[in-house]
């Protein structure tokens, strides 16, 4: 089992926020992306953050939207569409969306609208 699977989402969330804020984006935009991907509202996300849910349990508790399969590209040198482990692929989907926001893509493109 990869170490990230047992890492709390609450440990990584501030890193996502910091990365985006350095690039002129906002936490609200991050929450929009997470909501789009997972279907969670702000209260649901806050509950997972406060309870220190691991990535394994977080992605086990949500259903990714069908459009998630449209997320393609490279994260950490690996194409997300080629990742065999379903949980790792879900984590990398989120990483890819955060990277796209940080690179300045419009929200419409990030959300595959």
Domain boundaries, the chain: 3-110
d(CA 1, CA 96): 21
pLDDT given for residue 5 in this prediction: 95
Mean pLDDT per 10-residue segment, the chain (113 residues): 92 97 97 97 97 97 93 92 95 96 95 88
pTM: 0.93
pLDDT given for residue 76 in this prediction: 86
pLDDT given for residue 2 in this prediction: 87
pLDDT given for residue 55 in this prediction: 97
pLDDT given for residue 113 in this prediction: 81
Question: What is the CATH topology of the domain spanning 3-110?
Answer: Helicase, Ruva Protein; domain 3 (1.10.8)
């Amino acid at each position: 089992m990869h170490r990230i699977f047992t890492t709390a989402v609450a440990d990584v969330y501030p890193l996502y926020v910091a990365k985006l804020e350095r690039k002129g984006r906002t936490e609200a935009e991050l929450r929009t992306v997470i909501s789009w991907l997972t279907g969670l509202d702000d209260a649901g996300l806050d509950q997972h953050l406060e309870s220190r849910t691991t990535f394994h349990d977080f992605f086990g508790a949500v259903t990714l939207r069908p459009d998630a399969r449209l997320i393609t590209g490279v994260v950490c040198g690996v194409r997300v569409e080629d990742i065999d482990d379903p949980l790792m692929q879900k984590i990398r989907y989120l990483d890819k969306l955060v990277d796209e926001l940080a690179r300045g893509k419009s929200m419409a493109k990030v959300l595959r609208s």
